[in-house]
A and B are shown apart, each in its own frame.
Chain A
């Protein structure tokens, strides 16, 4: 498999044609995606046209940009101008955004070639990509297993070689968890580092767009391209994209790494074992490794499922049949709302809208939403305290390796527990990356998570790159 960096270098140098690159990847999609179903929509024609434009610019002596000719898969909650953006939901039937998400525009400006929109849990609500109105995605490492979720299609697309790069969104682990389960790199950047403009919202205070790639270097390249201030997003931080490519080889000599006890203790033994090995590898590379504790991480999942559902109940109110997407007629406007939303949303989305509506209701607000926000503050304080002793933390990305399709679909709580290791970073707004690190007892990939304080992406990528090197 060729890396994104190698493809871009070759295309920019005129050594490879972007069209050839795209054709190779589209051929892989044609061959394998019938079984895997990573894509909701493959944009073959558009991708070929974009690749030809890249080739034309190269032959005209222009530089198409740092991702020249690199195929990229987009999670289907990222708005693409004129191209259906479904969030894997029936409720957005027929809707075509009149605009590109900011990140999509930046990818196009960098010469990347969008090859398709990837499957996901409906409105990013789920941890297995089984909550899709268009059917589940399968894990390329073992098609009987789920790819994780909610960005399962993007993770699978990279793992299957359909595209060297993909974008997902991470609200409670939706990039890192499928990255771990599919054996690829997945990054949740600092909240506000990447513009959310054009990302269909699930939980606005937690959502963050981030990269999938087969290597840490490719993930850094993609993050550099999409990050940086966007005036269209009020929560976008007023700072430029970090320079990450330069730090990958700096090593971890002297870095203080804490192994997050609570999350390691809660993981399966084989997964916990890989984290311990990862810690040892970093120590061998010169890091100072110790044990860290953030006791309130045990409360994180409950707080997360109140805050995320509360925000979702409001964010998803607009799907009412009045302006776009599905409309099911009723006798009056309230009946139309009810019929449209009953037909348009899947069970998990309805469950979370009800949970969130309840959490915000008069008389319950303080006990649920208010209390969850206090827990959020507590976790942030505890993490800040830990980061006075450590530069980064090490933890499992998920408690288990990829589970079988259908294993948790009847038990929402068991499914929610898949996010226990990832939600603290979202609640805190901190960055985290999942790096593939060996296999579980079942032979399936294990992801090790490097967590860092806000805007410490450079430190985080140094540790991630060191982990990756230790395996080679």
Chain B
């Protein structure tokens, strides 16, 4: 498949902004509250009510734009008209041909760039639960329950250029976008709570050509993993059609996570005519230079910049996977501090990426101390990891932890004695090892470890074994 066909993907990411209140009224913007408690005449679309734009939402939307290297420009709101029970006004206030943020890009950890066409503001809909029949879809349901708490929650829709060429790159794009949104405080960006939602436009074209094929839009992917699975499935499906001379139909398709496949939702002909027109109840949005400059000045360092800085501190290539892990875990300051205290950069990076990810980070000073002890050979790698685990779990001084665990430095003569004892106890195995059966090294290391209660350094043991063979 990948030899003859190239995947072309663009993503539309909806992100709920972490404002205190909704986009067009003063109701609380909160996930998980009792249904229909965060509502008022405005977000229920009651006759006579009028919208007022939330300044904080604009502020956060501009942050998103700046973080995605977009131009922030004067914009207007439109109405997108269609009937749906969870949309109280039966139109959505959105931005159409004059969005707030245009023309940016996103740099992925592997160094590739994905263009960002636009990042525009709009209001979220309510949430409908279809009861009975239909497997949770509206068709065939007995009745539906609507929760309007989410109606009017501010969203930014981030539309990428069709620059993505693989499921892995699509996943990396979403992960990077999430990292940025969280870093700038724009959103908690949780796909499982629906505060980040991803739709994908995918088409295939013969490798080496530049024209786009007919695309399908895939909806209902609830995790980064399902995004990857859906793209893989859809690529196979489209290639299957193209290889047999059939045409891909332009349509919207629904991803079924359990079945692991996409199915047609509606064709281009059935697509809604949204009858967009300028929203007459809102005035044009033209943030002042001062406002924009203030937002820019308050923007924290972005993940891509932090990765670059961290790679420099650690003395590794920026594309090294542990760099991205440490930054995404917010451990880059810890690593930098440890390096500043004299720890080895690569060691600090690897220990942070492998031992501290998804855990409560320790203080910088004890973390650095563990690394220094390891660097000086006072702790083996295994021991250092054990000390770090204890440090994370209960805190304390690394020296004390090592002492309590009996990790006092083990003299070279003691290790050598243990190695010689192991050789003497297993002459047959030693013959084979000496005869070139290298994998038996592990056998002897294991014996030495057992004899020293794990305190010996594996590397030192292996070196001694080689030394003995050579003699």
Known: A323-B45, A365-B277, A369-B277. A234 touches B81 (CB 8 A): no
Q: Tell me the complex Cα distance, A360–B281, Å.
A: 17
Could you say which of A138-146, A191-199, A463-471 contacts chain B? A191-199
Q: Tell me the complex Cα distance, A197–B146, Å.
A: 26
| Contact between A323 and B47, CB atoms less than 8 A apart | no
Query: Cβ of B439 < 8 Å from any Cβ of A?
Result: no
| Contact between B47 and A310, CB atoms less than 8 A apart | no
Proximity bits, B214-249, A CB within 8 Å = 1, else 0: 000000000000000000000000000000000000
| Contact between B47 and A97, CB atoms less than 8 A apart | yes
| Contact between B83 and A320, CB atoms less than 8 A apart | yes
- Enumerate chain A residues within 8 angstroms of B282, measured Cβ to Cβ: 234
Proximity bits, A175-209, B CB within 8 Å = 1, else 0: 00000000000000000000011111101110000
Complex: chain A residue closest to B140, CB-CB: A332
| Contact between A234 and B53, CB atoms less than 8 A apart | yes
Query: Cβ of A337 < 8 Å from any Cβ of B?
Result: yes
Q: What is the CB-to-nearest-CB distance from A472 to chain B, in angstroms, rounded to a whole number? A: 39
Chain B interface, number of residues (Cβ within 8 angstroms)? 30
Known: A98-B41, A323-B88, A360-B81. A204 touches B280 (CB 8 A): yes
Complex: chain B residue closest to A101, CB-CB: B48
Known: A198-B48, A318-B45. A310 touches B88 (CB 8 A): no
Most buried by B among A98, A233, A333: A333
Q: What is the CB-to-nearest-CB distance from A82 to chain B, in angstroms, rounded to a whole number? A: 13
Known: A234-B283, A314-B277, A361-B275. A323 touches B81 (CB 8 A): no
Query: Cβ of B131 < 8 Å from any Cβ of A?
Result: no
Query: Cβ of A311 < 8 Å from any Cβ of B?
Result: yes
Proximity bits, A312-344, B CB within 8 Å = 1, else 0: 011001101011100000000110010000000
- Enumerate chain B residues within 8 angstroms of A101, measured Cβ to Cβ: 48
Q: What is the CB-to-nearest-CB distance from A100 to chain B, in angstroms, rounded to a whole number? A: 10
Q: What is the CB-to-nearest-CB distance from B287 to chain A, in angstroms, rounded to a whole number? A: 15
- Enumerate chain B residues within 8 angstroms of A158, measured Cβ to Cβ: none
Q: What is the CB-to-nearest-CB distance from A129 to chain B, in angstroms, rounded to a whole number? A: 20
Query: Cβ of A231 < 8 Å from any Cβ of B?
Result: yes
Query: Cβ of B138 < 8 Å from any Cβ of A?
Result: yes
Q: Tell me the complex Cα distance, A361–B277, Å.
A: 10
Query: Cβ of B177 < 8 Å from any Cβ of A?
Result: no
Q: Tell me the complex Cα distance, A324–B146, Å.
A: 14
Q: What is the CB-to-nearest-CB distance from B270 to chain A, in angstroms, rounded to a whole number? A: 13
Q: What is the CB-to-nearest-CB distance from A340 to chain B, in angstroms, rounded to a whole number? A: 11
| Contact between A92 and B53, CB atoms less than 8 A apart | no
| Contact between A233 and B91, CB atoms less than 8 A apart | no
- Enumerate chain B residues within 8 angstroms of A99, measured Cβ to Cβ: 41, 46, 48
- Enumerate chain A residues within 8 angstroms of B91, measured Cβ to Cβ: 314, 317
8 Å CB contact of A97 from B48, B144, B280: B48
Query: Cβ of A387 < 8 Å from any Cβ of B?
Result: no
| Contact between B275 and A333, CB atoms less than 8 A apart | no
Total A-B Cβ pairs within 8 A: 96
Query: Cβ of B79 < 8 Å from any Cβ of A?
Result: yes
Query: Cβ of B59 < 8 Å from any Cβ of A?
Result: no
8 Å CB interface, B269-297 against A: 273, 275-277, 280-283
Q: Tell me the complex Cα distance, A101–B83, Å.
A: 26
User: Which label, helix, strand, loop or mixed, suits the secondary structure of the B interface?
Assistant: loop
Query: Cβ of A151 < 8 Å from any Cβ of B?
Result: no
Proximity bits, B49-61, A CB within 8 Å = 1, else 0: 1111100000000
Query: Cβ of A362 < 8 Å from any Cβ of B?
Result: yes
8 Å CB interface, A96-110 against B: 97-99, 101
- Enumerate chain B residues within 8 angstroms of A333, measured Cβ to Cβ: 85, 138, 144
Query: Cβ of B90 < 8 Å from any Cβ of A?
Result: yes
| Contact between A314 and B79, CB atoms less than 8 A apart | yes
| Contact between B275 and A318, CB atoms less than 8 A apart | no
8 Å CB interface, B75-89 against A: 79, 81, 83, 85, 88-89
Proximity bits, A225-252, B CB within 8 Å = 1, else 0: 0000001111100000000000000000
Proximity bits, B72-113, A CB within 8 Å = 1, else 0: 000000010101010011110000000000000000000000
| Contact between B47 and A95, CB atoms less than 8 A apart | yes
Q: What is the CB-to-nearest-CB distance from B53 to chain A, in angstroms, rounded to a whole number? A: 7
| Contact between A360 and B48, CB atoms less than 8 A apart | no
Q: Tell me the complex Cα distance, A78–B47, Å.
A: 9
| Contact between B41 and A204, CB atoms less than 8 A apart | no
Query: Cβ of B179 < 8 Å from any Cβ of A?
Result: no
Q: Tell me the complex Cα distance, A197–B81, Å.
A: 22
Q: Tell me the complex Cα distance, A23–B149, Å.
A: 46
Query: Cβ of A154 < 8 Å from any Cβ of B?
Result: no
Known: A234-B282, A320-B83, A323-B88. A197 touches B48 (CB 8 A): yes
- Enumerate chain A residues within 8 angstroms of B47, measured Cβ to Cβ: 79, 85, 87, 92, 95, 97, 200-201, 318
8 Å CB interface, A221-277 against B: 231-235
Q: What is the CB-to-nearest-CB distance from A70 to chain B, in angstroms, rounded to a whole number? A: 23
8 contacts between A and B (CB under 8 A): A85-B48, A231-B52, A234-B50, A234-B282, A235-B281, A318-B89, A333-B144, A337-B83
Interface residues of A (CB under 8 A from B): 77-79, 85, 87, 92, 95, 97-99, 101, 196-201, 203-205, 231-235, 310-311, 313-314, 317-318, 320, 322-324, 333-334, 337, 357, 360-362, 365, 369
New contact pairs (6) apart from A97-B48, A233-B50, A365-B277, CB-CB < 8 Å: A99-B41, A101-B48, A197-B48, A198-B48, A204-B280, A314-B91
